[in-house]
Structure 1
């Protein structure tokens, strides 16, 4: 359970760092770029990828899609945290499991029982209630859109990672290294373009913050994989505990530390989200 707890802490910390980025005027795009450079270094140290198995002919379009999507969704997550708050963003991110479940049914032909159907219904209601907000100013009138992009983006990323796990041409850990490299190269090209065309300064503070962000982002992945390995016979427990843990801790930090305000509808959505995840988990356990 220690690996699972560490993964939850790392995941929530990423959201907190993105929340603090605006307060300390951190350039999120630059931080995200250096985050992937640091993740590459950590991948070399922990995963020790097998470069002998890598060639351009084996670079699947799935790897390229993930390499492009990861930095983009990171930016959307940063916008969502700043506009809608940490609590709502964490809930939107974790509710993206509903997209994975739909893919499991329509793409991977998984059988669903009644509990899972009911859980999905609760989940979609939770999405609507969680993203609901009466607009009081023009500054955050698009907060619902950022939340929707986080929800959809992380759902697609989850599906792509499932596809990566099914590819046997190169080891999964080596594939992850390749994906990080693609994300870094594209992100670096973009910030260099901004530096040349828009005269945006590349600052050391963004590099430092990016390394810290990369540490926790990579830690989330590393400890999540270790948790699955430690509890290999019960993966549904890992998946459900991760989602419930992030939603609860992320919401508490958002409300207590950052003084984020949730409406009654938002709190109702949070309850529906927890019910949805519990029902989906019970469905998995019942299937086992």
Structure 2
């Protein structure tokens, strides 16, 4: 349970950092690229002992780590496009509702328990995510021609979580968790560098040192959000469908509360109902595993 709590806390700090980007005018793409290398470095120097890095390409989990690194930065860019075309609420819903994919994966592939309490809890969790994410009384509106972008964010985010579970279970040893996590971030960072080089060639790249600071501030909690999530998945207390449900809903709940306290965000009635349902869903899902 402690790893799950630490993952939720790390992910909430990421939310705070992203909010501060807007305040200080940080270029999100540049900061994201720096963040990946910082996250990779944290893993290499903090959680990896006695590893021969030249042997990493030969690890059974290496192709999966490369795929995840690509998905990390691809989903980020799709989220940015979705934000521009449909708004932040659409991105928030698409990202967090994607928890349905790894939950179904855990239930059907690993035959995880599906008691009544758990099913009700998962359903309430999805409703809670939707209600806490929308910021207008009218709800979410998406133009038909823009529907593909949140759909890809939904699928990409779900595939990331599902792949983490599959690779962690099938290929990653306990001593390789740090190396596995760092390889994912290194891959994403390398792809990000290629994107920045393309911008430089086009003459659209404008560099600022505050983007490096923003990347450092993001990279540390970003590494731990993945590291602690993988460690939580390895624990014996809860199955993966429970972990993913509690993780996503707890992040939404805590991030919303932090938004109220630190950034004076105003919640509409639907948001408050969503928060209440989020708490109920966590209680139900947690109790179903006892």
User: Given the alignment of the two structures, is residue 218 of structure 1 paired with residue 220 of structure 2, yes or no?
Assistant: no
Taking the TM superposition and a 5 Å limit, the aligned residue runs for 1:39-188 are 39-48=39-48, 49-51=51-53, 53-55=55-57, 58=60, 60-75=62-77, 83-84=87-88, 89=92, 96-134=98-136, 152-168=155-171, 171-188=176-193
Does 2:269 match 1:264?
A: yes
Distance 1:141 1:202, change over 3 A: farther
Residue in 2 aligned with 1:208? 213
Cα shift at 1:6: 4.6
Q: Which moved more, 1:38-47 or 1:233-242?
A: 233-242
Total equivalences in the alignment: 277
Instruction: Provide the residue aligned with 2:20 in structure 1.
Output: 20
Gaps of 5+ in 1: none
Q: What's the CA shift for 1:241?
A: 6.5
- 2-structure distance, mates of 1:3, 1:150: 26
Q: Which runs of 5+ in 2 are unaligned?
A: none
Q: Deviations over 1:81-139 (max 9, x none)?
A: 99537xx94x8755543332111123333341211221222233334433445489xxx
Q: Cα distance 1:120–1:6, how it changes in 2: closer, same or farther (>3 A)? A: closer
- Aligned equivalents of 1:215, 1:40: Cα separation in 2: 9
d(CA) in 2 for partners of 1:93, 1:39: 21
1:111/1:248 CA distance change after superposition, 3 Å:
closer
CA distance 1:21–1:149, change in 2 (3 Å): farther
* TM-score normalised to structure 2 length: 0.77
TM-score normalised according to structure 1 size: 0.77
**Contact residue 240 and residue 278 of structure 1 kept, 8 A:** no
